[in-house]
Amino acid sequence: MSTPTAPASEPDVTDERLSDPALGTRVKVCGIVERSELDLLAAQGVDFVGLWWGVPGGPHDLDRDHWRELADAAAATKGLTPVLVTFAKDAEQLGVTLEGSSVRWIQLHGYPTPGTIRKVKAIAVGEYPINVIKVLHVRGGECVEAPLLASYEKAGVDVFLFDVVTEDGRVGSTGQAIDPAVVAPLADKLNRPFMLAGGISAGNRDDYASLAAHPRFLGVDVDTNARTGDGKISSDNVEAISRVWKDRAARSE
C-alpha cells in the first residue's frame, strides 16, 4: 500500500467527537459537486458533507482532482467535515485518493467484508485514524448485513448508516423512506452509533421519533430531499432539515 503524504491541513480534533451521540444530532448532506454548495451547507450548520469517489455511474461521482479540491474546501470552512463516500473496496486505492488531504472519514457503500473494513481502518496518517461509516442496506423489510453486525464492529466500524435498497437493487440516494420498524430491533443490538438515510426530510421526523430518542442515534444523512426538482442543493430545504432534526432534538434533552 502506498504511504500517504502529510495532509494539506491537520484534521480538527472535533472530528473525533462527531461520532459521540451525546454531543448532539448530526446532519450529513451527500453528493456535493460544487464549492458554492459547501458555503451553503456551512451556513446552515451541516456537520458532514459527502463527496463521492469510486461510485461508478453515480450522478455525483467525482474524479480524484475534483474530489481533493472539494475536500480541502470543505475542511477550510472549519465547520464541515468531509466524508469520502465510495463503493470502492481496494484500501490501497482509497489511500491514494486520501493522499494529501485531511479527510479521515470514509463511508463504505456496497457489501465489503469485515476484512476489508480492517484494511480501510489501517489507512492512517500519523496519529489520526480513519473513521469508517458502514452503510447497512435495508431491502424488503430486512437488513442485508444483519448477520455481520458484530463482525463489523469487531473490525472497527465507527458509525453505522441505515439506508434503503430498492427492489431493483439500487443503493444510495434513492429517496425511498426507510422503515423505522426494521431499524429499531437492529439499533438495539448495536454497540456503535447509527445514522438514518432514505427519504429523510424536514416533514417526517415524527415518523422516526423513537429512533431519534435512541441513545446511540447520531443523526441523519440526506441527499434527494436536500435538493429542488432540478437536482440543485436548496438552502431552504437544508435549513428546514437541519432546524427540525437538530432543534427538536435539543428541546427534547
Phi, psi angles (nearest 5°) of residue 235:
-60, -40
Residue 66: which CATH number?
3.20.20.70
Q: What is the pLDDT of residue 249?
A: 56
User: Is 8 inside a domain boundary?
Assistant: no
Q: What is the pLDDT of residue 15?
A: 59
User: Is 226 inside a domain boundary?
Assistant: yes
Helical axes 91-98 vs 114-121, angle rounded to 10°: 30
Query: 30-84: per-residue pLDDT in tens?
Result: 999 999 999 999 999 999 999 999 999 889 999 999 999 999 999 999 999 999 9
Longest dimension (CA), the chain: 47
User: Is 145 inside a domain boundary?
Assistant: yes
Which of 8-12, 118-122, 246-250 bottoms out in mean pLDDT, i.e. has the lowest?
Answer: 8-12
d(CA 148, CA 64): 31
Query: 116-147: per-residue pLDDT in tens?
Result: 999 999 996 556 789 999 999 998 788 999 99
DSSP-assigned letters across all residues of 146-183:
GGGHHHHHHHT--EEEEEEB-TT--BSS--PPP-HHHH
User: Is 7 inside a domain boundary?
Assistant: no
User: Is 165 inside a domain boundary?
Assistant: yes
Phi, psi angles (nearest 5°) of residue 223:
-140, -75
Query: 148-198: per-residue pLDDT in tens?
Result: 999 999 999 999 999 988 665 566 555 678 889 999 999 999 999 999 998
Residue 104, all three cell numbers: 479521515
C-alpha atoms less than 13 angstroms from C-alpha of 144 in its C-beta half-sphere: 21
Q: What is the pLDDT of residue 128?
A: 75
Residue 18 per-residue DSSP state? T
Helix (H) or strand (E) holding 196: strand 194-197
User: Is 16 inside a domain boundary?
Assistant: no
Domain with 223 in it: 26-252
Degrees, nearest 5: CA angle 163-150-17: 65
Q: What is the pLDDT of residue 139?
A: 84
Query: 181-195: per-residue pLDDT in tens?
Result: 999 999 999 999 999
Specify the number of domains making up the chain: 1
Residue 218, all three cell numbers: 447520531
User: Is 129 inside a domain boundary?
Assistant: yes
Spell out the residues 6+ positions from residue 75 whose beta carbon is closer than 8 angstroms to its own.
Answer: 8, 9, 11, 12, 81, 82, 101, 102, 103
Residue 152, all three cell numbers: 463489523
User: Is 38 inside a domain boundary?
Assistant: yes
Give the chain's radius of gyration (CA, Å).
17
Residue (of 230, 138, 195, 171) closest to 52 by Cα position? 171
Query: 227-242: per-residue pLDDT in tens?
Result: 998 999 999 999 999 9
Helix (H) or strand (E) holding 49: strand 48-52
3-state secondary structure of 190: coil
